[in-house]
Each structure stands twice: as structure tokens, then as C-alpha cells.
Amino acid sequence: MNSQRLNFLCNLIPLDKKVIDIGTDHAYLPIMLYQKGIIKVMGSDIHQKALDMAYKNIISHNLELDIPLVLSDGLKDIDTKDYNTLVLAGMGFMTIKHILDLKDKLEPINTIYIQSNNDYNKLRSYMNENKWILKNEYIIEEKKIIYHIMEYERGEEKLREEEILFGKKQEKYVKYYQLELNKLEKILNLIPKYQKEERKIIKHKILLLQNYLR
């Protein structure tokens, strides 16, 4: 599978992990993980058609006895007890929240890799409130689309406001912060001056990002 995003995810996950890929679609990631050497890996999806394609792909790699597939709404119908890692990639924040709200299913899980399609600040806030540490956040670009991949571990930390909004500061992502700053400045210019509260909020975010760039 020629996907920079999936290859990046695959390379992040250590060999000792036991992985459930939620929203596996065509099971590209489980196949890649198994070929890498992670032999305990499961794929799950809410859509039967996606799982049908996933099964065909698994058969084509002679892995039908090695990679189980489960039809499930998130973790609802999955037995998680023999796994320690979740991957949730290519879905929106509300779907991710819906999946992770099943707290009893998360008991054996100590690591979660998340690639959300939106609302990164809401995701960081939710994970922070639910006692997950943002160990790493990676920003990659593929076909002119920016992806955030977040790696979480169990534990407690208190993220600052700017870390909730933009992630933990990393010098290697200065280009990304500058792009976000440019977006906010354009938004500010579009807000009429009489909308003082809206302008105040954007100005505050601009100030936080400017501090990141210093």
C-alpha cells in the first residue's frame, strides 16, 4: 500500500505491541504490521463491505489464519483483553470520542495511536481529561493534505492552553505553526470590527502561536 500516512503509522508501532485497528477499511495497516513482525493484530470496521474487501486483501497475502476481522461499532463487539494497543485513523473526533467512551473496553489498553480528520484541539482536551499522556504528535503531509498522528500513553499530565490548541511545541514543525498563524490572521481580517468578542478570541490564539514561533 503506497500511503505515506499508513507507512508512517506502521513504522511508529513497536514490535511488542498487540494491536486492534479500528476502522480498518481494507485492512492495509494490519497486513503491514503483520509483515513487519507484529503477529498479534486485529482489524475491525463498522461496515460489512469494508470487511469483505479487507478479507480479500488478507487472503491475497495468505494471512486469513493470522489476522482476525471483526464487524463492530467501534469497540462494542470486540474482546480487548489480549490486546494492549489501539489504532484509530481516518475518522473524525466525534467518532473517536464515541469509540473511546466505552471505558471498560479500554482497561487492557496502554497505548493509542490516533489520526483524527478534524478538531485536534477537542481531541487533545478529551484525552487530557481522560488521563492519557500525549507522548508524541507527528505532522506529515501527503498529497497536499496535512495529517496529525498522536501517540498516547496512560497517565496524567496538564496540557497548557496553547498545547491543547496547537500541540506540544516542536521546532521541526515551525512551518506548520506559521501556516496556522497565517490562517488565523486571514480569519481575523474577515471578522468585522464590531464583533469584538470573536476578534478577541482569534487575537488571543494569534498571540499564543506567535510565542511558539519565537
pLDDT per residue as tens digits for the range 11-40:
999 999 999 999 999 999 999 999 999 999
Does residue 190 surpass a pLDDT of 90?
yes
Does residue 112 surpass a pLDDT of 70?
yes
Q: How far apart are CA 93 and CA 114, in angstroms?
A: 10
What percent of the chain clears pLDDT 70, i.e. is strictly above it?
99
Does residue 157 surpass a pLDDT of 70?
yes
| Range with lowest mean pLDDT among 22-26, 61-65, 142-146 | 142-146
Q: Which CATH architecture has domain 4-158?
A: 3-Layer(aba) Sandwich (3.40)
Segment 115-128, tens digit of pLDDT: 999 999 999 999 99
Q: How far apart are CA 91 and CA 88, in angstroms?
A: 7
User: If you average pLDDT over every residue of the chain, what do you get?
Assistant: 95
- Strands 132-142 and 145-154 come out as antiparallel
Return the domain boundaries, the chain. Answer: 4-158, 169-214
Residue 1's pLDDT is 61
Residue 3's pLDDT is 86
Nearest to 181 by CA among 160, 161, 201, 210: 210
Q: What is the mean pLDDT of residues 60-80?
A: 96
